Chains A and B, each alone.
Chain A
Amino acid sequence: MSRLEVKKTYKLYINGAFPRSESGRIYEVTDAKGNFIANPALASRKDLRDAVVAARAAQIGWAKATAYNRGQILYRIAEMLEGRADQIANEISATSGVTPKKAHEQLISAIDRWVWYAGWSDKLAAAFGSTNPVAGPYYNFTIPEAQGVIAVAPKDEFLAFIDSIAPVITSGNSVIALVPGASAVPAMTFAEVLATSDLPHGVINILTGSHDELAPWAASHMDIDGMDISGIDKKKRAALKEAGAENLKRIHNFDDAQSPNRIYAFMEAKTVWHPIGV
């Protein structure tokens, strides 16, 4: 008798838990030949709202963690991802149609990204901060700080998804990733990596579904402080920037896959005046 395969139910990743979409909707992902692969959840704006609440609550503690500790946790994500490498590489290959070799390379790059950004976490103040010369008996420092809750909308590719979230959380932001299309499948397997990486619940939240549906709500949401729209169609970017203007949301898109500028883009500068002893 042949065994009935146990299929995974793809859900969302919000506040460290795996809920179904509040809307109950799903969409179908197939391989290049049209064979069925999975039914990821199609997130609704209510899911987005829940994710913002979770991300906001988590961000305060995450930013307070020492930079060294954040670096350790980012490195831990790389360790866990290494253990799931084959599974995720297979999913990348099946859903995006790239060769298994290319998929594996993509996965290795993803792991290396986490290690690379892990090294950055305790160097940000040195790299982006400064001591400023002022005309008075004061030390004057500028220190970069995490901005808050950031939404990211990467293009439909696993590596682009990692490229968008890793730099954002390195500095102490929490993130809501809007993952479109077929890359939802490896992204949700990656969520299982996060769940076992000592990352505080709510720092990374993953919503799978449609950019067209979710991005405008994220752009206008008053409790989201910044947004990475690198994966959004060029023609649709202006409307999102306009919607984000109400709360002065920083909306960026990036050309570099990996760069410290992707970290700094979602930080803000705090300047401190400190009297010099008389």
Chain B
Amino acid sequence: MSFYGIVDGSEGSLKNFLSQLPGVDQVGAEARAAMLATRSIKTTSKRWAIDTAISMVDLTTLEGADTTGKVRALCTKAVRPDPTDLTIPSVGAVCVYNDMVLIARTHLDSIGGKHVPVAAVSTAFPSGRASMEVKIQDTQDAIDAGAAEIDMVIDRGAFLSGKFGLVFDEIVKIREVCGDRAHLKVIFETGELVTYDNVRKASYLAMLAGADFIKTSTGKVAPAATPPVVLVMLEAVRDFYAMTNRRIGVKPAGGIRNTKDAIKQLVLVNETAGPEWLTPEFFRIGASALLNDLLMQRMKMDDGYYASPNYVTID
């Protein structure tokens, strides 16, 4: 088998390819991300950025304490983030645990939210510690229940001990399960990958194995979507597009809590990958608290005075 004519999927070919990737200039990446974070986005640009960010949010609830009621409330908010303002776009997707997919899909369909996809975190999220059969079954379950996007986690233990073939095969198999029924997002948990070099390697590994999206984190480990990590991943999708003509999306998740953080991410996308990535099709932000802050900033721009969390829903 050949993947883009670059690797054949064997351990040896993967090692060869990944080892010839240039190392990340750590100081340079951090300085570049910090420099881009100082861009000042105001007035009409800010307004555009807020609406764009809302349309890119994967509105997420991944708690052990999730209830069907909470998931339904989340879906309602996803379709119409602020019921008093119909000019606000729906969010990019609703992201829930596997057993909540059916509840979310049914509720979305019943309230006129057919256009909002449901993303499921599969493959023994968040640790990824389960047998391959279980991971495949997990994924199949989610797709059967109506998930249009699968967020899978990689086996970080295998990756860190250099078993790239194992990680690659897992992604390929989950890709097969998804087929053309679901988009595949591959989560690296960059907080556990330790170095930027590893983030770059994991990005190429996932893209070659057929990921539609590469995603930073589960949200369960800090640090999560730091700007330099996102920068490295955006560089990877940009260069991969140049190599293969296939555009892969990026999803930072975890730690993006306010409008300023979100706008920083959009600046990173525009300046690194390019404006073609500035759509929900190729850039998503995994978040829960962020949406309220975006709504409050939008209120501030409309009303001219500072908003209060009392005027947005809690979940």
A residues within 8 Å of B by Cβ? 49, 52, 56, 217, 220-223, 243, 246-247
Instruction: Tell me how far the C-beta of A63 lies from the nearest C-beta in chain B, rounded to whole angstroms.
Output: 16
Q: Is the CB of B310 within 8 A of A223?
A: yes
Chain B interface size band reads under 10
A217 near B310 with CB under 8 A, answer: no
Interface of B is mostly: loop
The residue that A243 contacts in the complex, of B305, B307, B309, B311, with Cβ under 8 A, is B305
The 5 closest A-B pairs by CB, nearest first: A220-B305, A223-B308, A222-B308, A221-B306, A222-B307
Contact B306 A52 (CB under 8 A): yes
Residue pair B306, A49 in contact (C-beta under 8 Å): yes
Quick check: B309 and A223 within 8 Å, CB to CB? yes
| Interface majority SS (helix, strand, loop, mixed), chain A | helix
The chain B residue sitting closest to A247, CB to CB, is B308
Minimum CB–CB distance for B153 against chain A, Å = 33
Residues of B within 8 A of A220 (CB): 304-306
Cα distance A56–B309 when bound, in Å?
A: 10
Output the residue of A220, A221, A222, A223 with the most chain B CB within 10 A.
A222
A-contact bits for B284-315, CB 8 A (1 contact / 0 none) = 00000000000000000000111111110000
Q: CA separation between A246 and B304, bound complex, in Å?
A: 12
Name the A residues within 8 Å of B308 (CB-CB). Answer: 221-223, 247
Query: From residue B188, how far is it (CB to closest CB) to chain A in Å?
Result: 32
User: Which chain A positions have C-beta within 8 A of B311?
Assistant: 222
Q: Are A223 and B305 in contact (CB under 8 A)?
A: no
Q: Is the CB of A246 within 8 A of B306?
A: no
Q: A217-B305, A220-B304, A221-B308 are in contact. List 15 more A-B contacts (CB 8 A).
A: A49-B306, A52-B306, A56-B309, A217-B306, A220-B305, A220-B306, A221-B305, A221-B306, A222-B306, A222-B307, A222-B308, A223-B308, A223-B310, A243-B305, A246-B305
**Residue from the set B304, B310, B311 with the largest chain A CB neighbour count within 10 Å:** B310
Shortest Cβ distance from residue B59 to the other chain A in the assembled complex, whole angstroms: 23
Q: In the complex, what residues of A have CB within 8 A of residue B309's CB?
A: 56, 223
Residues of B within 8 A of A56 (CB): 309
Give the complex CA separation of A247 and B304 in angstroms. 14
